[in-house]
């Protein structure tokens, strides 16, 4: 039985004495061990600079990590939800369960009784560490990103405030998604949460991680990680819907593993925040596995969105298809950097990667860097990227029907995005994402 | 007589950035409730006139004026002209993949209404369904992407549908009849006629290369455009004469001037 701590102790990252932070916790060894090791790595590693290819367009030096207040991990406690949070909960559509995280800590968690009866487990990570320490340890190890991400990843694990663990047993099909709300309320904080999704063979799982905050008046950082694993013939639909307010900088590292004949769809939507980076890796681990990687972003003002992807084909006969589309206006900027890696034994790989960008203003800027690294000799791979503007003919047509230039441009952005939205299998999830995009773009 | 719905005086225009005027002094009046047919050979400037009326940014007006309900529209953006009541049915409508007809038209309707007065989804849907029935369109049409993969006939029908929903004061129909088989032509023509019946003040400028559509839409006036000017105007019988004798006699007449 874990002891409850009185409340979060606080200090800035620079002065943080990790032992004091972690000492306040009584954690299962699976978590405490990972946390201590991560802190050691974090202190040993240098911050990546703009000299590294992976961070060339996103300057981590401009993020004032040292001045942030880490939100210290506390045991999961049920908290009273604010009216704002209740309102958000009320808006979300059909779902199998809800998780509310505040600055990374699980404040509320519920699973439809019927879904629970079918064997689905939804718990805080802390509880999962108690009950399934091995699964958790393996999942964390698997999700280990490449060297360029290691510093942030170590910080994420060291400060992990909480997160949830969704486990769908063999052959069970969830009727609706789990909707997790990651809410950041306190300006100037550094917080971290992790999403674990594990589907056994033949299971079907769906999750929406929705990231929310007001506009915050001081630099605030939200770290997020996701480990998504589908065993043989599993089906997973995972959506990360980032709707932070201004002031928030967000870093998300997502790792997908698809087993034999498993099919995983990931969909990243970036709408809010000052800076939003997502590193998404799909590992095609079993023959016949299938990974669909989708993303949309719409940046205005001086927002900066950065997406890094890896389609890693480790098994033969697998298929991956990436379609990322972004639209920018004002002084918005974005980076797409994607790699298809095909291991030597991964013959008959079918892998595609497409990034399309639409620029609505002269001050906006998009960089697209698609790449291939192929060691097998019998594969079908293609990659491509485009950066363009709206077509004059379409613009005039819409304006000739009374739409202002702004309305016409925004409607064309919707049209541009539709191809990606249409690929989300679950209608309820699609509607939620569409609604969020409409709210951001406005018409 | 009250001021004309549309009054064009001495209009000269060229493609922006190029030499050589395409419109070389057009004079034309359309009264409320009238249907005017504008005919003429290829390259005479008919379609250019249509686009200039709608405010196409590729053209530069070098002289003259276009008054719509007494107001000079040359300084207005295309969207302002549309909201003022000018509608152009395009000869080659743009394709907008990813945007449904319903979504597009609802945005267009709401652009005419003040903030907070926007039409709700259901009210709009009723209007749209009614107009689609009038044009004998399949209800599934509204969910399709604007002109994306449409046949020629579907595109033209879609233009008239938009006109029916947006209810302009002036409809400029740029070769809406071209490329249509006789059945599609009849549907489009009857759609225009019904709009005229529903709104007695509706003015129509029907640009066409052929007389065929005038068998179904009876014009009050017929004009012939040659080399960027209105060379001849008359009643409906002028169309019959053009049908019988072609444009050669007019070419000779213009050359003689």
Comparing A6 with A438, the larger pLDDT belongs to A438
Token pair 């800590």 in the structure block, residue: A105
The span from the CA of A122 to the CA of A178, in Å, is 9
Does position A74 have pLDDT exceeding 70, yes or no? Answer: no
pLDDT exceeds 50 at position A127: yes
Structure-block tokens of residue A369: 């860097």
Residue A2's pLDDT band, with cuts at 50, 70 and 90, is: very low
* Predicted confidence (pLDDT) at residue A9 exceeds the cutoff of 60: no
pLDDT value of residue A6: 35
pLDDT the model gives residue B184: 87
**Mutant choice from B79, B159, B167 vs A, greatest count of A C-beta within 10 A:** B79
More confidently predicted of B169 and A93: B169
Q: What is the arithmetic mean of pLDDT over A378-382?
A: 96
pLDDT digit string, tens, across residues B67-102:
999 999 999 999 999 999 999 999 999 999 999 999
Mean pLDDT confidence for B11-22: 94
How many Cβ atoms sit within 10 Å of the Cβ of residue A111? 19
């990931």: which residue's tokens?
A: A266
Where does the pLDDT of residue A11 fall: very low under 50, low under 70, confident under 90, or very high at 90 and above?
low
**Rounded mean pLDDT of A136-146?**
79
Residue A87 is predicted with a pLDDT of 73
Question: What pLDDT is recorded for position A257?
Answer: 96
Least confident range of A64-68, A134-138, A285-289: A134-138
Distance (Å) of CA A106 to CA A39, A68, A79, A315, A371: 22, 21, 9, 36, 38
Q: Is the dihedral of CA A61, A64, A65, A67 positive or negative?
A: positive
Contact at 8 Å (CB) between B228 and B25? yes
pLDDT at A34: 84
Q: Answer yes or no: is pLDDT of B1 > 60.
A: no
Using a CB–CB cutoff of 8 Å, tell me whether B111 touches chain A. Answer: yes
CA distances from A7 to A1, A71, A322, A360, B233 (A): 18, 10, 43, 47, 88
CB A343 within 8 A of CB A372: no
In a domain, B1, yes or no: no
In a domain, A41, yes or no: yes
CB contact under 8 A, B88 and A416: no
- pLDDT band with cut points at 50, 70 and 90 for residue A268: very high
Residue A1 pLDDT more than 50?
A: no
Chain A residue with Cα closest to B93: A397
- Tell me which of B95, B104, B155, B159 to substitute to probe the interface with A (most A C-beta atoms closer than 10 Å): B104
Residue A178 falls within a domain, yes or no? Answer: yes
Report DSSP state, residue A301: T
Residue range B189-212: mean pLDDT, rounded:
93
pLDDT above 90 covers a percentage of chain B that reads: 75
Residue A204 has pLDDT above 70, yes or no: yes
Return the residue in B94, B112, B164, B167 with the most chain A beta carbons within 10 A, the one to mutate for interface testing. Answer: B94
Q: Would residue A83 count as lying in a domain?
A: yes
Spatial strand order in the sheet of B23-30: B23-30, B6-15, B59-68, B71-72
Note which residues in 155-184 of chain B have CB less than 8 A from chain A: 162, 166
Is residue B207 pLDDT above 60, yes or no? Answer: yes
The confidence score (pLDDT) of residue A20 equals: 65
- How many pairs of residues across A and B have Cβ atoms under 8 Å apart? 82
Cβ contacts of A419 on chain B, cutoff 8 Å: 97-98
- Structural domain including B161 reads 6-256
Beta strands in A30-120 (DSSP E): 69-70, 97-102, 105-111
pLDDT at B15: 95
Q: What is the rounded average pLDDT of the residues A290-310?
A: 97
pLDDT band at B245; cut points 50, 70, 90: confident
SS3 state at A329: coil
- Interchain contact, B99 vs A411, CB within 8 Å: yes
pLDDT of residue A369: 96
Look at residue A191 in the predicted model and tell me its pLDDT. 94
Per mean pLDDT, which of A290-294, B206-210, B228-232 is the most reliable?
A290-294
Mean pLDDT of all residues in B224-246: 91
Indicate yes or no: CB of A399 within 8 angstroms of CB of B79. Answer: yes
Percent of chain A with pLDDT over 70: 91
**Token pair 């939800």 in the structure block, residue:** A81
Mutate to test the interface with A, among B17, B56, B99, B149 (most CBs of A within 10 A): B99
Per-residue pLDDT tens digits for A79-89: 666 776 777 67
pLDDT at A151: 93
**Interface contact A412-B103, CB threshold 8 A:** no
Quick one: which of A441, A423, A421 has its CA closest to A433? A421
* Contact assessment for residue A161 and residue A123, using Cβ atoms and an 8 Å cutoff: no
In sequence order, what are the residues at sequence separation of 6 or more whose Cβ sits closer than 8 angstroms to the Cβ of residue A236?
A: A197, A199, A204, A205, A206, A207, A228, A230, A256, A262, A263, A264, A265
For residues A358 and A389, the answer to whether their CB atoms sit within 8 Å is yes
CATH number at residue B127: 3.40.50.300
Q: Tokens 């209009």 appear where?
A: B11
In a domain, A3, yes or no: no
Q: For residues A294 and A418, is the Cβ–Cβ distance under 8 A?
A: no
Tens of pLDDT, residue by residue over B101-130, are: 999 999 999 999 877 788 888 889 999 999
A419 — contact with chain B (CB < 8 Å)? yes
Q: Which H/E stretch holds residue A264? A: strand A263-270
Q: Looking at A45-145, list the stretches that DSSP marks H as alpha helix, in order from N- to C-terminal side.
A: 83-91, 113-117, 125-131, 133-142
Q: Do B79 and A402 touch (CB under 8 A)?
A: yes
Residue A6 resides in a domain: no
What is Dmax (Cα atoms) for chain A? 69
Calculate the average pLDDT of chain B: 92
Higher pLDDT, residue A70 or A5: A70
Asked if A443 and A411 touch (Cβ cutoff 8 Å), the reply is yes
Identify the band that residue B51 occupies on the pLDDT scale cut at 50, 70 and 90. Answer: very high
CB proximity A411 to B under 8 Å: yes
Average pLDDT over residues B177-201: 91
Q: Please write the tens of the pLDDT for every residue from A339-353.
A: 999 999 999 999 999
Total structural domains within chain B: 1
Query: What's the domain count of chain A?
Result: 1
Report pLDDT for A75. Answer: 56
Distance from A357 to chain B by nearest Cα, in Å?
A: 15
In angstroms, the CA B162 to CA B54 distance is 15
- B28 neighbors B6 (Cβ within 8 angstroms): yes
Band of pLDDT at residue A16, cut at 50, 70 and 90: low
Test A393 with B78 for CB contact under 8 angstroms.
no
| Containing structural domain, residue A320 | 18-441
Higher pLDDT, A341 or A33: A341
Residue whose token pair is 């940014």: B57
Q: Establish if A111 belongs to a structural domain.
A: yes
Does B103 contact chain A (CB < 8 Å)?
A: yes
- CB-based contact, B93 to chain A, within 8 Å: yes
Residue written as tokens 């170590």? A154
Residue A136 is predicted with a pLDDT of 80
- The least confident of A139-143, A357-361, B164-168 is A139-143
Rounded average pLDDT over A176-180: 94
A402 contacts in chain B (CB < 8 Å): 79, 82-83, 108, 111-112, 166
């Amino acid at each position: 039985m874990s002891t409850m701590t009185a409340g979060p102790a606080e200090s800035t990252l620079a002065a943080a004495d990790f032992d004091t932070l972690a000492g306040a916790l009584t954690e299962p060894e699976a978590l405490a061990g990972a946390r201590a090791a991560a802190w050691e790595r974090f202190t040993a590693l240098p911050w990546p600079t703009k000299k590294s290819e992976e961070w060339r367009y996103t300057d981590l030096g401009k993020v004032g990590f040292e001045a942030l207040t880490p939100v210290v991990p506390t045991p999961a406690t049920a908290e009273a939800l604010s009216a704002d949070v209740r309102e958000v909960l009320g808006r979300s559509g059909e779902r199998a369960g809800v998780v509310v995280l505040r600055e990374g800590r699980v404040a509320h968690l519920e699973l439809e009784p019927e879904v629970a009866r079918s064997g689905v487990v939804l718990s805080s990570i802390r509880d999962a560490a108690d009950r399934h320490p091995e699964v958790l340890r393996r999942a964390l190890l698997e999700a280990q990103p490449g060297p360029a991400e290691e510093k942030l990843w170590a910080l994420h694990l060291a400060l992990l405030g909480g997160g949830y663990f969704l486990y769908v047993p063999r052959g069970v099909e969830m009727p609706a998604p789990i909707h997790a709300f990651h809410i950041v309320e306190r300006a100037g904080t550094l917080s971290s949460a992790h999403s674990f999704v594990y589907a056994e063979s033949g299971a079907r799982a769906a999750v929406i991680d929705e990231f929310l905050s007001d506009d915050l008046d001081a630099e605030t950082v939200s770290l997020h990680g996701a480990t998504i694993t589908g065993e043989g013939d599993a089906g997973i639909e995972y959506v990360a819907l980032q709707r932070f307010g201004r002031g928030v900088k967000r870093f998300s590292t997502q790792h997908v593993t698809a087993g034999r004949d498993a099919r995983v769809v990931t969909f990243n939507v970036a709408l809010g925040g000052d800076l939003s980076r997502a590193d998404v890796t799909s590992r095609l681990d079993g023959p016949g596995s299938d990974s669909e990687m989708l993303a949309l972003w719409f940046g205005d003002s001086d927002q900066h969105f950065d997406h890094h992807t890896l389609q890693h084909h480790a098994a033969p006969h697998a298929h991956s298809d990436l379609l990322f589309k972004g639209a920018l206006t004002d002084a918005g900027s974005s980076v797409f950097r994607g790699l298809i890696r095909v291991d030597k034994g991964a013959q008959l790989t079918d892998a595609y990667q497409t990034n399309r960008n639409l620029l609505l203003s002269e001050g906006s800027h998009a960089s697209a860097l698609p790449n291939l690294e192929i060691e097998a000799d019998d594969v079908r791979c293609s990659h491509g990227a485009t950066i363009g503007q709206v077509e004059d003919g379409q613009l005039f047509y819409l304006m000739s029907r009374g739409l202002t230039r702004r309305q016409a441009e925004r409607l064309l952005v919707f049209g541009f995005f539709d191809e990606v939205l249409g690929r989300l299998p679950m209608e309820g999830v699609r509607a939620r994402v569409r609604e969020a995009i409409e709210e951001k773009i406005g018409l | 007589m009250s001021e004309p719905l549309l009054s064009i005086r001495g209009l000269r225009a060229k493609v922006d950035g190029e030499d050589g005027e395409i419109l070389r002094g057009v004079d034309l009046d359309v009264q409320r409730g009238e249907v005017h047919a504008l005919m003429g050979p290829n390259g005479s400037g008919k379609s250019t006139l249509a686009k200039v009326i709608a405010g196409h940014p590729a053209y530069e007006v070098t002289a003259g004026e276009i008054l719509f309900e007494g107001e000079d529209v040359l300084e207005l953006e295309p969207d302002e002209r549309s909201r003022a009541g000018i509608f152009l049915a395009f000869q080659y409508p743009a394709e907008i993949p990813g945007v449904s007809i319903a979504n597009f038209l609802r945005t267009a309707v709401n652009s005419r209404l003040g903030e907070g007065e926007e039409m709700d989804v259901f009210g709009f849907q009723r209007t749209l369904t009614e107009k689609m029935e009038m044009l004998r369109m399949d209800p599934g049409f509204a969910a399709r992407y604007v002109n994306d993969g449409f046949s020629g006939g579907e595109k033209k029908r879609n233009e008239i549908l938009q006109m029916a929903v947006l209810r302009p004061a002036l409809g400029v129909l740029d070769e809406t009849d071209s490329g249509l088989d006789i059945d599609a032509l009849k549907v489009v023509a009857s759609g225009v006629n019904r709009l005229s019946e529903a709104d007695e003040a509706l003015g129509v400028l029907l640009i066409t290369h052929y007389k065929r559509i005038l068998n179904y839409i009876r014009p009050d006036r017929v004009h012939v455009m040659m080399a960027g000017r209105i060379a001849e105007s008359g009643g409906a019988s002028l169309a019959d004469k053009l049908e019988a004798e072609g444009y050669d006699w007019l070419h000779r007449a213009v050359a003689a001037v």
